[in-house]
A and B are shown apart, each in its own frame.
Chain A
Amino acid sequence: MLEAQHITHQINRKTLLDDVSLVVRPGELVAVVGANGAGKSTLLKTISRELTPTKGEVVLDKKPLNRFSSLDLARRRAVLAQQNPLAFEFSVYELVMMGRYPHFEGHPHPEDLAIVDFALERTGIAHLARRAVPTLSGGEQQRVHLAKILAQLMGIEEINRPEASIRQTKYLLLDEPTTGLDFYYQHSLLEVASELTRRGYGVVAILHDLNLVMQYADNVLLLREGKALSFGKPASVLTAESIFNAFNLSVHIIHQPELDCPLIVHTRQTVPLTAQIN
């Protein structure tokens, strides 16, 4: 279980997060939503140990995050970042292989090669393996980085015995993973994430598309100006009222009978750019 407990984050007296808590159990996909500047990325960076909170603690399987070694942590959780700068022209294959770096010294083992092959196939980029990453489109690059974090977390036994669930829970932290992906790959990415949850992974994802949240998330945390408005099942957290509170936008919520899932649509009143929070 991955828990963020009462996280408060202040920089120069500005409070970015104020007493925010979040729980991810094995097998759950937890979405974090909120307006721009609500503190979503700060929360994810705290959970990934990139930032140290001013107050509060992140706990992974009852052990505080800062008691893990960098390597142990890298084997337990992977992060899909929003920005993926790359200084040199690495090939797709080499970049995905970087996901295996926490698992070998010196040269990769045969299972590392097999896992990289699997990750390339699974994300549909095997045909790009020899290409230099900077020559790819934004969406393709995003899939390369998805393949990298799949390679980072998956074990060879998960590929050989796909039905078995994993022994030790691993966590995926996704910062706006669908940005730059077309409609097909947005869903394809969240399908991958859902499949991993079925194997026992825990996933935290910052998402902007509330309908994707409705469809894929087990729980959702709604943030507004650094405070948690509510946490729970998407259908109960995302109401017309709470969405208006968080985003200052009027919506209708329609029930979609086929998927048995609420559908959020905007009510088409004019939206002045200045009126949005922040």
Chain B
Amino acid sequence: MQADLPNTLTAAPPKRSVQTGLPRAKGGWLNGLLIVLLVVVMIWSVGIGAVSIPIPDVLAILLGKIGWNIGVVEPQQETVLTVIRLPRILLGVLVGGVLGISGAAIQGLFRNPLADPGLIGISSGASVMAVLMIVLQLKVFQDLSSLSGLYALSLAAFAGAVFTTLLVYTLARKNGRTVVSTMLLVGIAINVLCESLRGLMMYLADEAQLRAISYWSMGSLGGASWDVLQVASPFLLIPILLMPRLSKSMNAFALGESQAGHLGVDVSKLKRNVIILATLGVGVAVAVSGVIGFIGLVVPHLIRQISGANHRTVLPASALLGAIVLTLSDLVARTIVTPAELPIGIITGMIGAPTFLYMLIRGAGDRA
């Protein structure tokens, strides 16, 4: 091995065959594949449900909407698709995307693959703020069908998410390193505290508020409508679109704060940006769909297994895979016990918890 060391820096420039272009090509195919997969999953699942709509009819309705009539469809199917299914699928895609990418970004911030927004208390913090607002009867939070109510609720959830993130981040850092055990223990404490606050609120709540609270605790996309989508989509899209721009800095951040600084990264600005974008994503996702756990843990983990750790691939691919996984989970949630619905958090939890255990056994969190 020592023989292939050239004697001096004046050795002939290396043959260009070594590794040129490797990282970009790898991320490219994965993201392309995931985009195709997402479109297929969306079109497929939008047709499934109490009223079944075959894929040709789905296409006919969608293309008809943009003024290209390729066939006649039943009005009932059209109504179900455009009023009920489509906003729900789109909300699922955005929420899943934002949960996936925020999970990846928060793991980058904590420099640890076990930092899931649900496990470390960020989602609970967001949801408890939402619940507090509802039960404490602040007028503006009462009417969720009104846009102002939804804005206010999103803002409250965002504030809850920021607060818990800063709390966990401050407590779990020692000498610039994340202490994994502290991070998870702080998460447990926050989750317990939020759980008991939620219990207290349930004790105080009336019938209608109770239903809203249980909805926030277990997660559901059942509240989706075009109005909700209109309010939430900008907040959900901003993190998805802006976070990939941070990927270079987040790669350097994996080397530790001081080394990232030596590479010209403005570390405090990076941390601030990640916290704002990721908690905005998680907070608004919680406000519109409740706590949907483990997407932020499982999805980035799977992506890193496939493509390696480069955030340039991991961030967009986590958004895409998160969207796919949540769309499929929601499909299961709304079809498995028809005409009723399962909370979607039950399904993601069943996939997520074993993955988390597997990661613990493999020692994935020890390296940071």
Contact = CB atoms under 8 A, between A and B. Distances in A.
Q: Do A and B bind each other?
A: yes
Contacts of B258: 45, 50, 81
A79 B261 CA distance: 10
Given A101-B263, A121-B14, A124-B2, A89 B309 contact: yes
Interface stretch (A125-133, A211-219, A229-237): A125-133
Interface residues of A, number: 58
Contacts of A88: 113, 254, 304, 309, 367
Interface range on chain B (Cβ under 8 Å from partner):
35 or more
Contacts of B20: 113, 117
Nearest to B18: A117
Contact of B9 (A71, A81, A195): A195
Contact of B21 (A45, A73, A79, A113): A113
Contact of A97 (B2, B23, B112, B309): B23
Nearest to B23: A94
Interface string B1-42: 110111011110110101111111000000000000000000
B192 interface: no
Contacts of B308: 89-91, 94, 132
A70 B13 contact: no
Contact of A162 (B10, B259, B261): B10
A114 B13 CA distance: 8
Nearest to A103: B264
Contacts of A75: 264
A48 B1 CA distance: 33
Given A79-B262, A81-B258, A107-B24, A117 B16 contact: yes
Contacts of A251: none
A163 B11 CA distance: 11
B5 A124 contact: yes
A49 B262 CA distance: 9
B264 A101 contact: yes
B23 A93 contact: yes
Nearest to A123: B5
A86 B263 CA distance: 15
A138 interface: no
Given A70-B265, A113-B20, A130-B19, A87 B9 contact: no
A116 B24 CA distance: 15
Contacts of B22: 93, 129-130
B334 interface: no
B336 interface: no
Contacts of B113: 87-88
Contacts of A71: 264
Interface in B242-279: 248, 251-256, 258-259, 261-266
A67 to B, nearest CB: 15
Name A's interface SS. helix
A172 B253 CA distance: 20
A166 to B, nearest CB: 12
Interface in A105-153: 107, 113-114, 116-118, 120-124, 126-127, 129-130, 132, 134, 152
A192 B9 contact: yes
A74 interface: yes
A235 B170 CA distance: 49
Nearest to A159: B13
Contacts of B1: 124, 127
A93 B20 CA distance: 10
Nearest to A110: B20
A101 B108 CA distance: 17
A163 B304 contact: no
B263 A129 contact: no
Interface in A41-64: 45, 48-50
Given A48-B262, A127-B4, A120 B252 contact: no
A79 B18 contact: no
B177 interface: yes
A218 B22 CA distance: 40
Contacts of B111: 85, 87
Contacts of B256: 81, 83-85
A100 to B, nearest CB: 9
Of A48, A126, A134, A195, most B-chain CB atoms within 10 Å: A126
A122 B259 contact: no
Contacts of B142: none
Of A70, A122, A160, most B-chain CB atoms within 10 Å: A70
16 contacts: A74-B264, A78-B262, A79-B259, A83-B256, A89-B308, A91-B309, A93-B23, A98-B252, A98-B255, A107-B24, A113-B20, A118-B13, A121-B6, A126-B14, A129-B19, A132-B308
Given A99-B263, A195-B8, 19 more contacts: A50-B258, A50-B262, A70-B265, A84-B255, A84-B256, A87-B111, A87-B368, A89-B308, A90-B308, A93-B19, A95-B255, A97-B23, A98-B263, A118-B14, A122-B6, A124-B1, A126-B19, A132-B308, A196-B9
Listed from nearest, the 9 A-B pairs whose CB atoms lie closest are A74-B264, A88-B309, A87-B111, A124-B5, A162-B10, A102-B264, A121-B14, A87-B254, A71-B264
